[in-house]
Structure 1
Amino acid sequence: MFDPFGDFDSKGYLRNTRKDKAPVIIKHMEHNLFRANLADALTYLADQDVIEYGHFLEVHRLLFGNYYPWAGEDRQMTAPHLLVSKSDTTFCEPRSIHLAIDQGLRLAQREQRMGDVPGEIMGLFAYGHPFLDGNGRTMLLVHMELAHRAGFSIDWPATNKDDYLRALTLEIESPGRGILDRYLLPFCGPVIDRNQWADNVLAMKGLDGLDDENQVEGDLRDASVAEKYRQFDEARNYSYRHAVPGAPDAADDLDYTEEYRGKGSGPYLS
């Protein structure tokens, strides 16, 4: 059982408010909360002029805050030293989560490339994996809103779960090569009415991203774990352009002049 807090026996799975431990009950609670709070989360996203990292976090809180007290807090807050993986896929170390999500949001909104690289953007969200649980549902809603603003929709219920997850896994490992783009683009079509979104989302199978549960890959303060992550991140060979600290209005005009390429950036790695 995924237990990053180390208190599963006394507080249940991820310190949920009911102290539930049985996986079937936990998944049932998560799904019911998602159904109950879906409309509020979609309305919240629609009301934002520009979707930013904080809005990504707030969607998660709206969906799961009644069950997980830490909902809306990313792994830098909840598990700052842990490297997390799922289904043999390693996610980015906590200090790089914001960077990965921001890159996806920037491509979608500032560079207006949502219609060209929807898979690359989804892969960045998935690699960022901000939360201890509920990532797939959260990033799906954000991705749907970004697609709507770009003038198209993805027929998610028509996608094949296994094919999608296979492409998503490869996208995380080798980002920016068009792997998930090639899978998703045939399912892209005209925008659909917002009133249909909830039904479309709930018709999907495997809402929570990659199959299986999260697992702790190790403590990043351990040199061997840090080196393993560094090698994985470097092999991804993905370049992020990021705002230079102190640049005038950097947050607004995104005057990107420096570059980060996968070299294990973070507090634990040199």
Structure 2
Amino acid sequence: MFDPFRDFATAGYLRNRFAEKDSKIVQELEHQMFRASLEEAITHLSRRRGALRYEDFLAVHRILFEGFYPWAGEDRATTAPDIAVTKAGTWFCHPAHARLAVQEGLRIGNDRRLMRQRPGEVTGLFAYGHPFLDGNGRTMLVVHTELCHRAGFCIEWHRTSKSAYLTALSDEIATPGKGILDNYLLPFVGEGLHRQVWGGMLNGLPGLDGQGPDHAVAGNYANAEVSDQYREFERRRDYRIGR
């Protein structure tokens, strides 16, 4: 079980405000918070002038999940600075580098021309950064949708396949910069949509309810074996920031 705070017995799964331990109830409550707060998160981004920043990424997570998690809006550098986190065999970046990965995604995404060319690479960087202990997918979807909107298009997510998308995303994280997720997403590019319809569109997407493989703590980075496995994953990724 994923228990980075090591207080599951007293604070429930991921130290939630209700000290709830049942995974199904946790997923339902978390998703209810997301649905209730989605419009506020969309409004926050719509009011931002200029390029989106890492602080906006944190703010979206806080808005979406602060009703459930007291640590909402705090990244892993704060909540779990020494813990290696994996999911379904995928390693996410070191907590100290989460900001850098997301910022690189934002650097590309804030450039309208690049965003139209590389929407999958942006998604992959957000996913690899994995700034939060939970709620990353929904947070990055909201931010990504705003970046697409600013670039004049949308991803027609309802036409995608969850399993095919997740496979492409895992491959993108493992071997970034090769256009894997770009090639998957570009056929689903459509005309830009007014923000007023985003809430209904995003709320209606399958696969956003938190169901799926749980996170796993691979161990502490102080452990030589864990550190070596992470370095090897990074070596195979071979991705240069700012390319």
Under TM normalisation by the shorter chain, which class is it? Answer: over 0.9
1:218-233 aligned within 5 A: 218-233=219-234
Q: Deviation per CA, 1:166-208, whole angstroms, max 9, x where unpaired?
A: 0000000000100000110000011012111111111211126
Structure ranking higher on relative contact order (CA contacts 8 Å, 6+ apart) = 2
- 2-side partners of 1:169 and 1:44: how far apart? 29
Displacement, 1:110?
A: 4.2
Secondary structure (helix, strand or coil) at the match of 1:2 reads coil
Quote the residue 2:192 is aligned against.
191
Displacement, 1:152?
A: 0.4
Q: TM-score, normalised by structure 2?
A: 0.97
Check 1:47–1:202 CA distance in 2 against 1; reply closer, same or farther (3 A cut): same
Work out whether 1:19 is the aligned partner of 2:22.
Answer: no
1:13-162 aligned within 5 A: 13-49=13-49, 50-110=51-111, 112-162=113-163
1:192-211 aligned within 5 A: 192-207=193-208, 211=212
Aligned length in residues: 242
- 2-side partners of 1:212 and 1:174: how far apart? 21
Q: Deviation per CA, 1:11-47, whole angstroms, max 9, x where unpaired?
A: 1111101000001110110111011000000000111
Secondary structure (helix, strand or coil) at the match of 2:85 reads strand
Work out whether 1:179 is the aligned partner of 2:155.
Answer: no
Check 1:84–1:26 CA distance in 2 against 1; reply closer, same or farther (3 A cut): same
Displacement, 1:211?
A: 3.1
With 103-112 and 143-152 compared, the bigger mean Cα shift is at 103-112
Secondary structure (helix, strand or coil) at the match of 1:115 reads helix
> Residue 207 of structure 2 aligns to which amino acid in structure 1?
G
- 2-side partners of 1:216 and 1:186: how far apart? 35
> Residue 195 of structure 1 aligns to which amino acid in structure 2?
Q
Quote the residue 1:249 is aligned against.
none
- 2-side partners of 1:55 and 1:133: how far apart? 17
Contact residue 101 and residue 126 of structure 2 kept, 8 A: yes
Q: TM-score, normalised by structure 1?
A: 0.87
Q: Deviation per CA, 1:127-181, whole angstroms, max 9, x where unpaired?
A: 0000000000000000000000001001011111000000000000000100000
Quote the residue 2:5 is aligned against.
5
Q: Deviation per CA, 1:64-112, whole angstroms, max 9, x where unpaired?
A: 0011010000000000000001111110010110110000000111474
> Residue 149 of structure 2 aligns to which amino acid in structure 1?
H
Pairwise CA RMSD of aligned residues?
1.4
> Residue 89 of structure 1 aligns to which amino acid in structure 2?
T
> Residue 59 of structure 1 aligns to which amino acid in structure 2?
V
Unaligned runs of 5+ in 1: 242-258, 260-270
- 1-side partners of 2:195 and 2:111: how far apart? 23
Unaligned runs of 5+ in 2: none
- 2-side partners of 1:168 and 1:208: how far apart? 18
> Residue 27 of structure 1 aligns to which amino acid in structure 2?
Q
Contact residue 45 and residue 55 of structure 1 kept, 8 A: yes
Quote the residue 1:167 is aligned against.
168
* Structure with a larger share of its residues in helix: 2
Contact residue 134 and residue 208 of structure 1 kept, 8 A: no
